[in-house]
């Protein structure tokens, strides 16, 4: 029988870095959204944000590029990335931000530039 380890609560005021979200990087790729009801397919930008502690908890996880919300947001099972879709191209200089309810938020320091978006060939 394995030894049972006793744990104790960590004071939430200490805000240990190991518990906080971190954004290591992101990638942007132009993609097509399927057409519907007689409309042709439309262009969008797929975004993958890599890091850690993107938790799936009761409070909603939201992401933005500048002021543009990331739609159809999905958290990876290992909580090391989130991905979604931007329905419009963000203006140059926009920053990538991830917000977990009122618990935590993180922002990547590298601004989005048009050259960072992988375009369809």
Which is higher by pLDDT, 109 or 7?
A: 109
pTM, 2 dp: 0.82
Query: Looking up tokens 């029988």, which residue turns up?
Result: 1
Percent of the chain's residues with pLDDT above 70: 84
Res 55 pLDDT > 80: yes
Give the Cα separation of 54 and 52 in Å (integer): 6
Give the Cα separation of 13 and 118 in Å (integer): 41
pLDDT bracket for residue 8 (50, 70, 90) = low
Q: How do 96-100 and 42-52 pair as beta strands?
A: unpaired
Can you give the residue ranges of every domain in the chain?
A: 19-33+42-116
Give the Cα separation of 54 and 80 in Å (integer): 6
CATH of the domain spanning 19-33+42-116, picked from 2.40.110.10, 3.30.565.10, 3.90.180.10, 2.60.40.10: 2.60.40.10
- With the C-alpha atoms ordered 51, 90, 84, 58, is the resulting torsion angle positive or negative? positive
Query: Looking up tokens 């960072």, which residue turns up?
Result: 116
Q: Which residues on neighbouring strands pair with residue 117, listed in sequence order?
A: 28
What pLDDT digit, counting tens, does each position of 74-115 carry? 999 999 999 999 999 999 999 999 999 888 899 999 999 988
pLDDT of residue 103: 84
């Amino acid at each position: 029988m394995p030894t049972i380890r006793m744990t104790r609560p960590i004071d939430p005021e200490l805000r240990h870095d190991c518990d906080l979200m971190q954004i290591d990087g992101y990638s942007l790729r132009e993609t097509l959204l399927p057409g519907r009801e007689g409309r042709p397919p439309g262009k969008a930008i797929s975004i993958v944000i890599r890091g850690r502690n993107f938790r799936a908890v009761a409070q909603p996880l939201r992401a933005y590029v500048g002021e543009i919300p990331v739609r159809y947001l999905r958290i990876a099972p290992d909580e090391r990335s989130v991905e979604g879709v931007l329905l419009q191209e963000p203006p140059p200089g926009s920053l990538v931000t991830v917000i977990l309810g009122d618990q935590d938020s993180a922002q990547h320091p590298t601004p989005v530039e048009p050259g960072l978006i992988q375009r369809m060939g």
